[in-house]
Amino acid sequence: MSRRRAVITGIGVLAPGGVGVKDFWSLLSEGRTATRGITFFDPTPFRSRVAAEVDFDPEAHGLSPQEIRRMDRAAQFAVVATREAVADSGLDVEQADPYRMGVTIGSAVGATMGLDAEYRVVSDGGRLHLVDPAYAVPHLYDYLVPSSFAAEVAWVVGAEGPAIVVSTGCTSGIDSVGHAVELIREGSADVMITGATEAPISPITVACFDAIRATTPRNDDPGRASRPFDGSRNGFVLGEGAAVLVVEERERALRRGARIYAEVAGYASRCNAFHMTGLRPDGAEMAEAIRVALAESRTDPGSIDYVNAHGSGTRQNDRHETAAFRTVLGEHAYRTPVSSIKSMIGHSLGAIGSLEIVASVLAMQHDVVPPTANLHTPDPECDLDYVPLVARDWRTDTVLTVGSGFGGFQSAMVLTGPDRVAS
């Protein structure tokens, strides 16, 4: 029996700067930024007061009043992105075999926005240690355990196959899609609704990144605050959003004549076993993840056309992954465009990996590589071609996308364009 392969046939996005794939790609291809001063709450007491927020009206996107009450913002994002992805795929989910359809959703911090808001109420502003259940929302258990996100998505499409939330911190968005691909390849499902969601812009998240100085204090210039690979960068900008993909077994997709965006050809993840938040400068574990993902995809490092970087805009990350790219790609690293869309839409923790997969798919579709915004003077330690400021017309058939996160997780995925899928 030939090896089962997994292809992407539908995409849906909800990102800072606009809801939907079209707005997302305009922002990225025009090099605009969606970072701004925080508006969700008064950020005055905090060190970092910028974020990439989504202007999102759940009712305008078809959610009912009860759905809005039931779901944390991150679940709402996932449901809206799922609807776009399914419509885009042309898949008739009501006719599909529910037993052969599964769901994986990534999230690093779950319903943190809902939990923060609810805690504030049940504790009466932090006064009560013995918090009062009489003031809790009825769906608080769904905030406690974020597998509710996968349940909500499964209900949208009627999936009855394997459903789960993948929560490996800031690599969740890659690992979720990687897990979906594993399930298709092993035969546990033929169609996977997969991706990731995050809505972390709450006082507790801002406070905890303040405490370790991971986020930028560049509050006076919010639109230019996310500056990966630039010598003046000083931390990441918190973001939010969701991306959902329809991933199908290749033969099935070909049979129904689906438009195929790309194949998920290789995926691997490794841990640095070093520090919960720190990175060693050599990037050895990310390099190993990239090597294994390339081998699995039977891709020569020299045929990578574009690297979608983690590019969070912290000094340690930018150097860490630059070292990893140099280790695996060698001289080819210097000839390959590398860019970070976090410069435009911030770092949405567990969601960003899936948003970056969609950005990679769109780069292949348009043969345009999105830029790294705000990159004027590169850190001398970061000596690759980071596509500063302006998108580039660039033949893009094979993309490497990577992620790195708290807990030491390092993940890599290789996507190949529709031309290679045919063979």
Partner 1 sequence: MTGAAVVTGIGVAAPNGLGTEDFWAATLAGRSGIGRISRFDPAGYPARLAGEVPGFVAEEHLPSRLIPQTDRMTRLALVAAEWALADAGLDPETLPAFDMGVVTASSSGGFEFGQRELQALWSKGGQYVSAYQSFAWFYAVNTGQISIRNGMKGHSGVLVSDQAGGLDAIAQARRQIRAGTRVVVSGALDASICPWGWVAQLASGRLSTSEVPDRAYLPFDADARGHVPGEGGAILVLEEAGAARDRDARVYGEIAGYAATFDPRPGSGREPGLRRAVELALADAGLEAAEIDVVFADAAGVPELDQIEADALAAVFGRRGVAVTAPKTMTGRLCSGAAPLDLVTALLSIRDELIPPTVHVQPATRYGLDLVCGDVRTGPVRTALVLARGAGGFNSAVIVRAAGDRAGNNN
Provide the minimum distance between the beta carbon of 93 and partner 1 in the complex, in angstroms, as a whole number.
Answer: 11
* Segment interacting with partner 1, rule: CB under 8 A, options 163-171, 247-255, 354-362, 387-395: 163-171
- Name residues contacting partner 1, limited to 182-241 (CB under 8 A): 182, 186, 188, 203-204, 206-212, 214
First and final CA of the chain: distance in angstroms?
16
Q: Is 347 a catalytic residue?
A: yes
Q: Is 310 a catalytic residue?
A: yes
Q: What tokens appear for 77 in the block?
A: 């994002």
Contacts 24+ apart (CB under 8 A), 184-189: 184/4, 184/6, 184/247, 184/248, 184/249, 185/3, 185/4, 185/5, 185/6, 186/4, 187/4, 188/102, 188/161, 188/162, 189/100, 189/101, 189/102, 189/161, 189/162
- Name residues contacting partner 1, limited to 260-289 (CB under 8 A): 268-277, 285, 288
Q: Tell me which of 139, 170, 320, 382 is the catalytic residue.
A: 170
314 contacts partner 1 (rule: CB under 8 A)? no
Cα 134 to chain center, whole Å?
Answer: 36
- Name residues contacting partner 1, limited to 44-63 (CB under 8 A): 45-46
Binding residue for partner 1, selected from 31, 146, 235, 239, defined by CB under 8 A: 146
- By C-beta, is 126 or 380 nearer to partner 1? 126
- By C-beta, is 56 or 406 nearer to partner 1? 406
- By C-beta, is 137 or 260 nearer to partner 1? 137
3 contacts partner 1 (rule: CB under 8 A)? no
- By C-beta, is 92 or 127 nearer to partner 1? 127
Q: Tell me which of 139, 179, 320, 347 is the catalytic residue.
A: 347
Residue 348's closest CA among 114, 109, 27? 109
- By C-beta, is 225 or 286 nearer to partner 1? 286
159 contacts partner 1 (rule: CB under 8 A)? yes
- Name residues contacting partner 1, limited to 6-45 (CB under 8 A): 45
166 contacts partner 1 (rule: CB under 8 A)? yes
* Segment interacting with partner 1, rule: CB under 8 A, options 235-243, 333-341, 393-401, 402-410: 402-410
Binding residue for partner 1, selected from 150, 264, 338, 362, defined by CB under 8 A: 150
Nearest-angstrom CA–CA distance, 317 and 386: 14
93 contacts partner 1 (rule: CB under 8 A)? no
Provide the minimum distance between the beta carbon of 189 and partner 1 in the complex, in angstroms, as a whole number.
Answer: 10
Q: Is 366 a catalytic residue?
A: no
- By C-beta, is 149 or 229 nearer to partner 1? 149
Nearest-angstrom CA–CA distance, 107 and 285: 22
Provide the minimum distance between the beta carbon of 84 and partner 1 in the complex, in angstroms, as a whole number.
Answer: 20
Binding residue for partner 1, selected from 37, 98, 217, 231, defined by CB under 8 A: 98
* Segment interacting with partner 1, rule: CB under 8 A, options 175-183, 228-236, 237-245, 370-378: 175-183
- Name residues contacting partner 1, limited to 125-144 (CB under 8 A): 125-127, 129-133, 136-144
Q: Tell me which of 139, 310, 320, 382 is the catalytic residue.
A: 310
Residue 61, number of CB atoms within 10 A of its CB: 17
- Name residues contacting partner 1, limited to 336-395 (CB under 8 A): none
Provide the minimum distance between the beta carbon of 228 and partner 1 in the complex, in angstroms, as a whole number.
Answer: 20
Binding residues with partner 1: total (CB under 8 A): 84
154 contacts partner 1 (rule: CB under 8 A)? yes
Provide the minimum distance between the beta carbon of 13 and partner 1 in the complex, in angstroms, as a whole number.
Answer: 23
- Residues that are catalytic: 170, 310, 347
